Chains A and B, each alone.
Chain A
Amino acid sequence: MKKKKLAIIILLTILIGILVFAYFFFLRQNPVNLIRSINPLQYSKPPGFLYAINSEPDHPLDSPMAVYVFNNKIFVSDTGVGKVLAYDYNGKFQQYLQPGQGSFRAPYGMADDGTNLYVADISLGKIFVFNSGGTYKKQFSVKGAQLGGPGGLYFKGGKLYVSDLQKQMVFAFDLDGNLLKAYGREGHGSGELSFPNGITVDDQGTVYTADSGNNRIAVFNADGSSVERGIGAGDPGNSNMLTPRGLQRDSNGNLWMAMGLANQIQVLAPDGRKLLEFGHDGKNYGDIALPNGVFIDKNNRVYVTEVGNSRVSVFGY
Chain B
Amino acid sequence: MKNKGLTNRFRREFCKMKKIGIIASLSLILMLIMTATALASATSGPHGSFTTNTNGCAACHKTHTAQGKWLISSMAAGSQNDVYRVCMYCHQAGVGSHYDEANGQIMDSTTTNSTTSPSAKWATSAGGFNYMPGIEGAAALTTTSTVTSNHSVANSNGTTQVVPGGYASGGIELRCDSCHDPHGSTNDRLLVPSVKILSTTGQTISVNTVSSGRIGIAVANALTNETVIYQDDNMSSFCGACHTDFFNTSALSGENTSGSYTTGLYRHRVNMSWNSWTGSTPNSSSFMVLPLGAGNGGTDVTCITCHFAHGTSVSVTNYTSATAGVRPATLLRMDERGVCQNCHLKQTGAAPTITAAPSTYQVDKTHLVVTFSGYLDPATATNTANYSITTLGAPSAATLQPTAKVGKQVLLTIGSTSVTSYTLTVTGVKDLNGTTITTGNTFTWTGQ
Contacts and interface: CB of A to CB of B under 8 A. Distances in A.
Interface of A: 32, 35-36, 38-39, 46, 48-50, 63, 65, 79-80, 105-106, 108, 122-125, 144-149, 151, 165-169, 171, 179, 182, 185-186, 188-189, 194-195, 197, 211-216, 232-234, 236, 239-243, 245, 260-263, 277, 279-287, 289-290, 292, 307-310, 316-317
B111 A166 contact: yes
Given A168-B112, A239-B39, A146 B118 contact: yes
B140 A263 contact: no
Contact of B96 (A108, A212, A277, A282): A212
A290 to B, nearest CB: 5
A307 B115 contact: no
A246 to B, nearest CB: 11
Contact of A149 (B10, B17, B119): B119
Contacts of A165: 94-95, 107
Nearest to A232: B39
B103 A106 contact: yes
Contact of B92 (A46, A79, A233): A79
| Chain A interface SS verdict (over half) | loop
Chain B contact-residue range equals 35 or more
Contacts, number: 230
Interface stretch (B42-50, B226-234, B261-269): B42-50
Given A146-B116, A282-B75, 11 more contacts: A106-B93, A123-B94, A146-B119, A166-B108, A167-B119, A169-B113, A213-B96, A232-B39, A281-B76, A283-B75, A307-B89
A261 B38 contact: no
Contacts of B349: none
Interface string B74-85: 111111101001
Contacts of A65: 93, 95
A151 B3 CA distance: 39
Contact of B95 (A122, A167, A261, A282): A122
A242 B59 contact: yes
B103 A123 contact: yes
Contacts of A149: 94, 107, 119
B79 A309 contact: yes
Contacts of A286: 13-14, 17, 21
Nearest to B37: A239
Nearest to B121: A123
Interface string B395-434: 0000000000000000000000000000000000000000
7 contacts: A123-B144, A212-B96, A240-B33, A240-B58, A262-B28, A281-B75, A317-B7
Given A106-B103, A309-B76, A241 B88 contact: no
Interface string B21-51: 1001100110011011111111111000000
Contacts of A241: 39
Contact of B76 (A212, A233, A289): A289
Contacts of B37: 236, 239
Contacts of B90: 243
B221 interface: no
B113 A290 contact: no
Contacts of B97: 195
Interface string B91-128: 01111111010110101110111111111010000000
Contact of B119 (A106, A125, A179, A240): A125
Contacts of B115: 144-146, 167, 169, 171, 179, 182
